[in-house]
Amino acid sequence: MAWLDFAVGDRQASVRLACKTFRISRTTYDYVPTRAADDELTSVLTRVAAIHPRWGFGLMFDWLRSQGYRWNHKRVYRVYWPMAPLQRVLRRGSAQYPVVDQRAPLYTQGVDRG
């Protein structure tokens, strides 16, 4: 909120007057977001992903709960999501590429619609 800081700092308006002018509450002006460090959660998820590369979010979250960690699913998912593209989960039974018959000709003939 640079414009509010400009009004309070450079124009020497009071915080109360500036907040009233721009129609925001003083609690919004004073709010400082705090986020707990996720270093431990990141290290645990990285370690589990290295051991079990086929596990997705659900299995990892269930494993964390069974080990006694009490992080909620929203926090775990927020940390897990940027790591997810690093894991390549292949579904069982699905072919990656179609099977090509090697005896088939490499050309096709057009149909004359004369």
29/43 same-domain check: no
Q: What is the pLDDT of residue 76?
A: 94
In a domain, residue 21? The reply is yes
Number of domains in the chain: 2
Judgement on whether residues 30 and 43 belong to the same structural domain of the protein: no
Predicted pLDDT at 113: 66
Nearest by Cα to 70 from 30, 41, 101, 50: 41
Predicted pLDDT of residue 79 = 92
Asked whether 71 and 64 are in contact (CB, 8 A), the reply is yes
63: Cα separation from own chain's centroid = 20
- Shared-domain flag, residues 1 and 16: yes
Going by the DSSP 8-state scheme, the letter that residue 97 receives in this structure is: S
> Could you list the residue range(s) of the whole structural domain that residue 1 is in?
1-34
State the distance between the two ends of the chain, measured CA to CA, in whole angstroms: 72
Verify that 52 and 20 share a domain, yes or no.
Answer: no
Q: Say whether both 29 and 47 belong to one domain.
A: no
Walk along the chain (114 residues) and give the pLDDT tens digit of each residue. Answer: 777 777 888 878 888 888 888 888 989 888 888 877 889 999 999 999 889 888 889 999 999 999 999 999 999 999 998 887 655 555 666 556 666 666 666 666 666 665
What local confidence, expressed as pLDDT, does residue 36 receive? 78
